[in-house]
C-alpha cells in the first residue's frame, strides 16, 4: 500500500488510472452485451412475456389492430402473422405507424428489445406464424454466389441489383438494404411486410435465405471497388455526374484557358 | 532572270537538325503545310472548345479501348467464373462477362481503364451535344456551314451508336436488359420487325451471336465511320474558317484571334492533357457501370433502376411515358394476324425521328424563311435571334422531359413523391413544356434586347442618386465605352419578308406559307439602336448634364 501511495504522483499515474477505468467499463459492457444476446436467442417465450406483451398491445396497438389483434377498419388482424412479423415491424420502427401513407416508414424503434419480444410473444400466442429465425441462419457464412443469383432473380427487380432500393407505384418503394440487420432481412422475406411478397420456406428454403443474407452482407462489406459508388443507382447518377461535375470542371478550364483575351 | 535563279546557291543547312529537317522538307514539303496551318487564326472563346473536348475524348476512347480489346473476349460461350470476385465465384455466365470481370479485378489497371473508357464515352457524347447546342444558338450553322452541321448530326448519331454497342458488350444484367428493349423496339416495326430481330440476333433473343456482332461494330465499323466524319468535319472547318462572336473590327470577311502556331497549338495541346486528366481523376475516384453488381445476363430478372446511358435516356423516357391504354383505347392491334404495338413503336421511333429530322433540316428551314443567301461568319448572340433561340429551347425542353422520364423512378424515390404522379406530370409537360419554354424564352430574349437597347442609348445605371437644386432626384447613368456599345448595337435584326411573286408574277401557295412563317419568326423584334438614335440620346444626356462629382457622368432620366 505504501508503494502505491508513493507512486500516486508519478507522471504516468493519470494515464494508468484512465486505462484501468476504460478496461473496467469495457469489460462490463462486453459482459452486459453477451448477456443481452443470450436473452435474444431464446425463441420460446415465457407466460409472463405473453402477459406483458398483451398489456403493451392493448395500450399501443389495439387502436388500429383491435382488441385481441382481431383487426379493425384501420389495421389488419394480426392473428397468425407470427413473432417474426412483430419483430420486424416493431424492431425497425415501422410500427407503431407514425402516420398513414402509402407505406409504413422506417424510424427509430419505439420499443426496446425486451418490449418488442413481449409484443412478439403476445402476437405469436394468438395463432401460429413464422417464428423469429434461429441464430445459425443469420451468421452470414453461407454461399454468397448462390445468394447473389437468388437475389437477382427474386429481389433485384424492386430492391435494385446492388440493393440500393427502388420505386414502386403510387409513392410506395422498396428500401435500400445496406445497414439492415440479418434478422430483419430474414423476417422480411418470411413475412412479406408492406408491399413485399412472402418468400416462404418452400419458395426460398431457410438455407437459401441464409445465402441471400450472406450475399447482402458481403457486398456491403466489400464496398465499391471502383471508387465512390454515386449511390449505386446506375446510369442516371453516372449521367448526372458527368454533366454536372465532369463537364462543369471542363468548362471551368475552358474559361481559364481563354480568359486572357477579350 | 533565269540566269540569276539558276545561279542562286541551294540552301545548305548549318546544323545537323537543320539538314535532317531540310531533307524531309524537300521530299514532303512540310514547311508549306506548316506555313499554311500555322497561320490559321482561331478566335478565342470558351464556348468554342466543346468540339475539342469531344475530339480529345474520342482520342482517349481509342487509346483506352485498344487496351480493353487486349483482354476482352466477345464470346457468348458458357463458363463458370473462377476469378477473384467472390460474390460471383463459380456462377455460370458468358465468356464475355467473365472476361469483363477479369478486366475489372484481375488485370492490372484494368478497372481504371474500363472506367476511363466509360467516362470518356459519356463525356464524348455530352461535349458533342453541348457543342451542337452552341452552334445552334449562335447561328453558326448558317451558310456556308450547313453541310458541316449535318456532318455533326451524323457524328452525334454515330456517337450514340458507338456508346450503345459498347454498353451492351459486358453481357451483364444491365446491358442485357438494354438489348432486350432494343429487341422489343425492333420487333414492334410492322412486317419486317421480327425478321430483322432474328437476323440481328441470329435467331430468337438473346441467341449466341449478338455480342460478337456488336463487338465488330463497336471496335471496327462505328469508330471508322466516326473517324471519317471527324476528318470531313475538320476539313470543312479549315475550308470555312472559324466563326467569331460579334465585336469591334470583326466582320464576315475576317477572323480575329490567335494564329494556330505557337500560342493556340500550345493551348490546344495542353487542353488535351487537361481533358485526359479530368477523365483520369473521375475514373480513379468514381465508379462507373459496376458490372459486378448486376450479375450475368439472364432474360428473367430485371433490376430496379435499369436505365440506358444518358444519351439513350430520352428514348427510354419516351417509352416510359407512353400509356398502353387510354380509357378503353388500346394501342396494340392485331391486323391480318400480325400484331401492331403502337405503344412501343410510337415512343421509340417518333420523338427521336422528329428531333433528328428537325435538327438536320433546320439550316434549310431558316434559309428558306429568310431567303438569306449570304455567308455568315459572325455569330448571333442568342438574344438577337429570339425565335430561333426559342425554338432551340423548346426542343431542348422536350428532350429534357423525355430525359427526365428515364429517371422517373429515381425522381420518385429521392424526392419522396409518387411514381405515378411523376409520370402524369411528365406526360403533361411532354405536350405543354415546349410551348411554355418557347413563349418564355422568346419573351426573355426580347426583354434582354430591350435592355441592351436601353443601355446603349442611355448608358449603364450607376446606382448613384443625385438631387438637383430644384429638388428633383435623378440617377446618374454612366455612358458605355465604344467597344461595349458596339456589342450591343452591332447586329442585324431581320424583319418579316412579305410574300413575293415569282418570275410569272404569281404568288405561290408555298411562298404564302413562307411569308406567314417569316411573319411568325420576325414579327416581334427589337431593332438595334441606330447611329441617329444614339446621337439623339447622347445630345439629350448632355443637355441635362451637370457636373455631378469629379468624374464626368452624363445624366438622363
For chain A, say whether B258 makes contact (Cβ under 8 Å): yes
> Do A153 and B309 count as a contact with CB atoms less than 8 A apart?
no
ipTM for the predicted complex comes to 0.88
- Give B528's pLDDT tier (boundaries 50, 70, 90): confident
Lowest mean pLDDT among B202-206, B251-255, B542-546: B542-546
What would the mean pLDDT of B420-424 be, rounded to a whole number?
Answer: 95
What's the average model confidence in pLDDT over B247-259? 85
In the stretch 195-254 of chain B, residues with CB closer than 8 A to chain A read: 247
Residue A186 has pLDDT above 60, yes or no: yes
A140 pLDDT tier (thresholds 50, 70, 90): confident
Q: Measured between CA atoms, how close is B130 to chain A, in angstroms? A: 9
Selected residues 283-312 of chain B with any CB under 8 Å from a CB in chain A: 283-290, 292-295, 298, 300-310
- Which band of pLDDT confidence, cut at 50, 70 and 90, is reported for residue B541? low
Interface residue of B45, B293, B317 to substitute, partner A, most A CBs within 10 Å:
B293
B:164-183 residues touching chain A, CB 8 A cutoff: 173-174
pLDDT reported for residue A38 = 38
Question: A153–B306: do the CB atoms touch at under 8 Å?
Answer: no
**Angstrom distance (rounded) from CA A144 to CA B86:** 7
Q: Among residues of chain B, what percentage have pLDDT more than 90?
A: 65
Which of B284, B293, B412 lies closest to A227 in CB terms? B284
pLDDT at B376: 93
Find the closest chain B residue to A144 by CA distance: B87
Asked if residue B102 has pLDDT above 50, the reply is: yes
Hey, are the CB atoms on B275 and A250 less than 8 Å from each other?
yes
Mean pLDDT of chain B: 90
Q: Which residues 396-425 in chain B show a CB within 8 A of chain A?
A: 406-410, 412-413, 416-421
Q: Tell me: pLDDT of A42 over 60.
A: no
Q: How confident is the model at residue B6 (pLDDT cuts 50, 70, 90)?
A: low
How many angstroms away from the CA of B350 is the closest CA of chain A?
Answer: 23
Average pLDDT of chain A, as a whole number:
87
Tell me the mean pLDDT in the region B92-112. 95
A165 vs B104, B123, B413: nearest CB: B413
Mean pLDDT of A184-206: 91
Tens digits of per-residue pLDDT, B281-298? 999 999 999 999 999 998
State the average pLDDT over residues B98-103: 96
> What is the C-alpha separation between A123 and B387, in angstroms, rounded?
69
- Mean pLDDT of all residues in B209-217: 95
Put simply, the answer to whether A245 touches B123 (Cβ < 8 Å) is no
Which residue has 493556340 as its cell numbers? B264
Is A261 a residue whose pLDDT tops 70? Answer: no
Q: Does pLDDT of B546 surpass 50?
A: no
Confidence of residue B347 (pLDDT cuts 50, 70, 90): very high
Inter-chain residue contact A166 with B304, CB threshold 8 Å: yes
Q: Look up residue B386 and give its three cell numbers.
A: 429570339
Between residues B12 and B509, the one the model is more confident about? B509
Q: Residue B556: what pLDDT?
A: 43
Residue B359: closest CA among B77, B49, B152 = B152
CA distance B305 to chain A (A): 6
pLDDT (0 to 100) of residue B481: 86
CB nearest to B309's CB, from A166, A235, A255: A235
Residue of B nearest to A231 (CA): B287
Instruction: Give the mean pLDDT of B9-23.
Output: 85
Query: Which pLDDT belongs to residue B332?
Result: 86
Q: What is the DSSP letter of B384?
A: G
pLDDT at residue A235 in the model: 92
CA-to-CA distance for A153 and B393, rounded, in angstroms? 43
What cell was used for B327? 380509357
CA dist B449 and B456 (Å) reads 10
- The verdict on a CB contact (< 8 Å) between A229 and B290 is yes
Residue B86 is nearest to which of A144, A167, A242, comparing CB atoms? A144
Query: Is residue B555 predicted with pLDDT exceeding 80?
Result: no
Give the one of A148, A245, A254 whose C-beta lies nearest to B295's C-beta.
A148
- Answer yes or no: do B298 and A144 touch at CB < 8 A: no
Distance separating alpha carbons of residues B518 and B365, to the nearest angstrom: 11
Kindly identify which residue of chain A lies nearest to residue B113, measuring between CA atoms. Answer: A226
3-class secondary structure per residue, chain A: CHHHHHHHHCCCHHHHHHHHHHHHHHHHHHHHHHHHHHHHHCCCCCHHHHHHHHHHHHHHCHHHHCHHHCCCCCCCCCCCCHHHHHHHHHHCCCCCCCCCCCCCCCCCCCCCHHHHHHHHHHHHHHCCCCCCCCHHHHCCCCCHHHHHHHHHHHCHHHHCCCCCCEECHHHCEECCCCCCCHHHHHHHHHHCCCCCCCCCCCCCCHHHHHHHHHHHHHHHHHCCCCCECHHHCCHHHHHHHHHHHHHHHHHHHHHHHCCCCC
Cell numbers linked to A89: 415491424
Q: Using CB atoms, which residue from B287, B406, B420 is nearest to A227?
A: B287
A242 and B271 within 8 Å at the Cβ level: the answer is no
Minimal C-alpha gap between A218 and chain B (Å): 7
Of B173, B287, B418, the CB nearest to A230: B287
Share of chain B above pLDDT 70, in %: 95
Q: How confident is the model at residue B540 (pLDDT cuts 50, 70, 90)?
A: low
Looking at residue B550, what is its pLDDT? 37
Q: Which of the four pLDDT bands, split at 50, 70 and 90, describes residue A32? A: low
Contact A157 B302 (CB under 8 A): yes
Find the closest chain A residue to B409 by CA distance.
A167
Confidence of residue B389 (pLDDT cuts 50, 70, 90): very high
For position B553, what pLDDT does the model report? Answer: 42
pLDDT of residue B491: 86
Mutate to test the interface with B, among A149, A165, A239, A251 (most CBs of B within 10 A): A239
* Range with lowest mean pLDDT among A138-142, B78-82, B461-465, B545-549: B545-549
When mean pLDDT is compared across A34-43, A187-196, B149-158, B413-422, the lowest value belongs to A34-43
Which of A228, A234, A235 minimises the CB distance to B285? A228
Give the pLDDT confidence of A199-252 residue by residue, as tens digits.
988 889 999 999 999 999 999 998 888 888 888 888 999 999 999 999 999 999
Amino acid at each position: 500500500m505504501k508503494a502505491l501511495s508513493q507512486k500516486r504522483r508519478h507522471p504516468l499515474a493519470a494515464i494508468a488510472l484512465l486505462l484501468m477505468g476504460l478496461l473496467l467499463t469495457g469489460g462490463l459492457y462486453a459482459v452486459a452485451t453477451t448477456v443481452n444476446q443470450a436473452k435474444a436467442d431464446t425463441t420460446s417465450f415465457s407466460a409472463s412475456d405473453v402477459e406483458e406483451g398483451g398489456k403493451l398491445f392493448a395500450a399501443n396497438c389495439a387502436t388500429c389492430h383491435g382488441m385481441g389483434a382481431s383487426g379493425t377498419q384501420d389495421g389488419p388482424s394480426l392473428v397468425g402473422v407470427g413473432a417474426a412479423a412483430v419483430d420486424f415491424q416493431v424492431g425497425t420502427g415501422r410500427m407503431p405507424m407514425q402516420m398513414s401513407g402509402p407505406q409504413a416508414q422506417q424510424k427509430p424503434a419505439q420499443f426496446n428489445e425486451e418490449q418488442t419480444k413481449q409484443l412478439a410473444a403476445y402476437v405469436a400466442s394468438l395463432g401460429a406464424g413464422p417464428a423469429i429465425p434461429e441464430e445459425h441462419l443469420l451468421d452470414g457464412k453461407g454461399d454468397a454466389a448462390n445468394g447473389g443469383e437468388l437475389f437477382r432473380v427474386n429481389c433485384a427487380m424492386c430492391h435494385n441489383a446492388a440493393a440500393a432500393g427502388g420505386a414502386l407505384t403510387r409513392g410506395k418503394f422498396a428500401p435500400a438494404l445496406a445497414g439492415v440487420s440479418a434478422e430483419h432481412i430474414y423476417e422480411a422475406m418470411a413475412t412479406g411486410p408492406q408491399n413485399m411478397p412472402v418468400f416462404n420456406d418452400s419458395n426460398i428454403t431457410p438455407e437459401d435465405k441464409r445465402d441471400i443474407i450472406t450475399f447482402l452482407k458481403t457486398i456491403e462489406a466489400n464496398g465499391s471497388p471502383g471508387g465512390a459508388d454515386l449511390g449505386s443507382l446506375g446510369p442516371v447518377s453516372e449521367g448526372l455526374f458527368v454533366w454536372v461535375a465532369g463537364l462543369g470542371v471542363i468548362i471551368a478550364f475552358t474559361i481559364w484557358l481563354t480568359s486572357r483575351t477579350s | 532572270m533565269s540566269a540569276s535563279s539558276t545561279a542562286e546557291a541551294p540552301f545548305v543547312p548549318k546544323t545537323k537538325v537543320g539538314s535532317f529537317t531540310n531533307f524531309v522538307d524537300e521530299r514532303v514539303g512540310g514547311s508549306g503545310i506548316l506555313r499554311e496551318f500555322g497561320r490559321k487564326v482561331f478566335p478565342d472563346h470558351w464556348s468554342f472548345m466543346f468540339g475539342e473536348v469531344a475530339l480529345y475524348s474520342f482520342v482517349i476512347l481509342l487509346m483506352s479501348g485498344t487496351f480493353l480489346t487486349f483482354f476482352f473476349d466477345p464470346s457468348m460461350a458458357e463458363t463458370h467464373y473462377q476469378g477473384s470476385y467472390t460474390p460471383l465465384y463459380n456462377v455460370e455466365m458468358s465468356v464475355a462477362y467473365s472476361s469483363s470481370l477479369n478486366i475489372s479485378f484481375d488485370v492490372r489497371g484494368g478497372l481504371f481503364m474500363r472506367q476511363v473508357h466509360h467516362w470518356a464515352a459519356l463525356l464524348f457524347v455530352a461535349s458533342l451535344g453541348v457543342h451542337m447546342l452552341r452552334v445552334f444558338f449562335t447561328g453558326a450553322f448558317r451558310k456556308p456551314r450547313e453541310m458541316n452541321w449535318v456532318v455533326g448530326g451524323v457524328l452525334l448519331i454515330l456517337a450514340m451508336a458507338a456508346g450503345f454497342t459498347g454498353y451492351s458488350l459486358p453481357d451483364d444484367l444491365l446491358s442485357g436488359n438494354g438489348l432486350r428493349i432494343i429487341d422489343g423496339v425492333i420487333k414492334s416495326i410492322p412486317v419486317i420487325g421480327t425478321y430483322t430481330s432474328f437476323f440481328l440476333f441470329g435467331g430468337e433473343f438473346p441467341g449466341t451471336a449478338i455480342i460478337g456482332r456488336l463487338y465488330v461494330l463497336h471496335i471496327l465499323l462505328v469508330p471508322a465511320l466516326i473517324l471519317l466524319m471527324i476528318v470531313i468535319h475538320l476539313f470543312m472547318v479549315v475550308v470555312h474558317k472559324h466563326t467569331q462572336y460579334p465585336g469591334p473590327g470583326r466582320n464576315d470577311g475576317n477572323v480575329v484571334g490567335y494564329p494556330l502556331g505557337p500560342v493556340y497549338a500550345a493551348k490546344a495541346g495542353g487542353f488535351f492533357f487537361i481533358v485526359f486528366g479530368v477523365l483520369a481523376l473521375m475514373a480513379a475516384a468514381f465508379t462507373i457501370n459496376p458490372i459486378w453488381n448486376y450479375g450475368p445476363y439472364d432474360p428473367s430478372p430485371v433490376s430496379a433502376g435499369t436505365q440506358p446511358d444518358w444519351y439513350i435516356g430520352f428514348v427510354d423516357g419516351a417509352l416510359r411515358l407512353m400509356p398502353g391504354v387510354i380509357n378503353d383505347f388500346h394501342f396494340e392491334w392485331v391486323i391480318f394476324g400480325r400484331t401492331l404495338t403502337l405503344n412501343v413503336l410510337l415512343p421509340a421511333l417518333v420523338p427521336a425521328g422528329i428531333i433528328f429530322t428537325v435538327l438536320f433540316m433546320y439550316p434549310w428551314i431558316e434559309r428558306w424563311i429568310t431567303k438569306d443567301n449570304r455567308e455568315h461568319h459572325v455569330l448571333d448572340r442568342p438574344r438577337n435571334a429570339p425565335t430561333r433561340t426559342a425554338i432551340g429551347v423548346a426542343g431542348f425542353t422536350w428532350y429534357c422531359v423525355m430525359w427526365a422520364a428515364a429517371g422517373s423512378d429515381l425522381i420518385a424515390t429521392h424526392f419522396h413523391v409518387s411514381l405515378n404522379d411523376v409520370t402524369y406530370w411528365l406526360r403533361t409537360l411532354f405536350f405543354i413544356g415546349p410551348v411554355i419554354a418557347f413563349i418564355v424564352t422568346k419573351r426573355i430574349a426580347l426583354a434582354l434586347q430591350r435592355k441592351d437597347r436601353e443601355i446603349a442609348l442611355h448608358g449603364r445605371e450607376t446606382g448613384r442618386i443625385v438631387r438637383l437644386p430644384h429638388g428633383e432626384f435623378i440617377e446618374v447613368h454612366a455612358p458605355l465605352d465604344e467597344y461595349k456599345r458596339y456589342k450591343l448595337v452591332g447586329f442585324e435584326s431581320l424583319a418579316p419578308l412579305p410574300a413575293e411573286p415569282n418570275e410569272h408574277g404569281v404568288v405561290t401557295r408555298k411562298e404564302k406559307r413562307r411569308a406567314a412563317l417569316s411573319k411568325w419568326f420576325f414579327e416581334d423584334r427589337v431593332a438595334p439602336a441606330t447611329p441617329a438614335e444614339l446621337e439623339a440620346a447622347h445630345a439629350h444626356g448632355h443637355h441635362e448634364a451637370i457636373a455631378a462629382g469629379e468624374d464626368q457622368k452624363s445624366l438622363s432620366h
